[in-house]
Amino acid sequence: MLPIATQQRSAVRRFSPGAHRAYAQRAWLRTLGVMNRGAAKRYAILVVIVVATALLLSALWRVPYVFTLIGFSAWSFFGHLVTADDDAPGGWSNPDGSVPFPWAQLVVKGGLFLALCAVAAFIPVVRTFGAAQ
């Protein structure tokens, strides 16, 4: 039998009131699928870059906002397709095959790309937003 000092504690996690409050305040991040502040910060930076690019392209060359969004979406989707073999079992990013292929990410990226293209094609007024006359 192990000494009491080396036995494992029970699996019940005990939080201080401050830690419990902080955990509850980050519930909205967990709802979005973001598990830590680092990931939320990366997403926020990405959104700022896309918005700044859309505003800059619109101001300099009168590119409608939707075309900037389509460009970023296409970059993400086709970039994922080009590097899909790296995520497959035995690929560069997954040499031992322990991580499943990210089909859900690929489907979401493709769906977003197709949806933006459909909006631009079938709702002509969207093509005027950001394109100063």
In this structure, are 68 and 133 located in the same domain? yes
| Residue 110 and residue 48 share a domain | no
Is 27 part of a structural domain of the chain? yes
pTM for this prediction? 0.70
Residues 92 and 113 in one domain: yes
Q: Identify the pLDDT of residue 99.
A: 87
Measured CA to CA in angstroms, residue 100 lies from 95, 97, 130, 133 at distances of 12, 7, 40, 48
Same domain, 108 and 47: no
- 86 & 130 share domain: yes
User: Are 34 and 89 within one domain?
Assistant: no
- Asked if 66 and 116 count as a contact pair (C-beta separation under 8 A), the reply is yes
Interatomic CA distance for residues 61 and 64, integer angstroms: 9
> From first to last of its 133 residues, what are the pLDDT tens digits of the chain?
455 554 455 555 566 666 666 666 666 555 555 557 787 888 899 999 999 999 999 999 999 999 999 999 999 999 999 999 998 888 888 899 888 888 999 999 999 999 999 999 999 999 999 886 5
Boundaries of domain holding 85: 64-133
- What is the total count of domains within the chain? 2
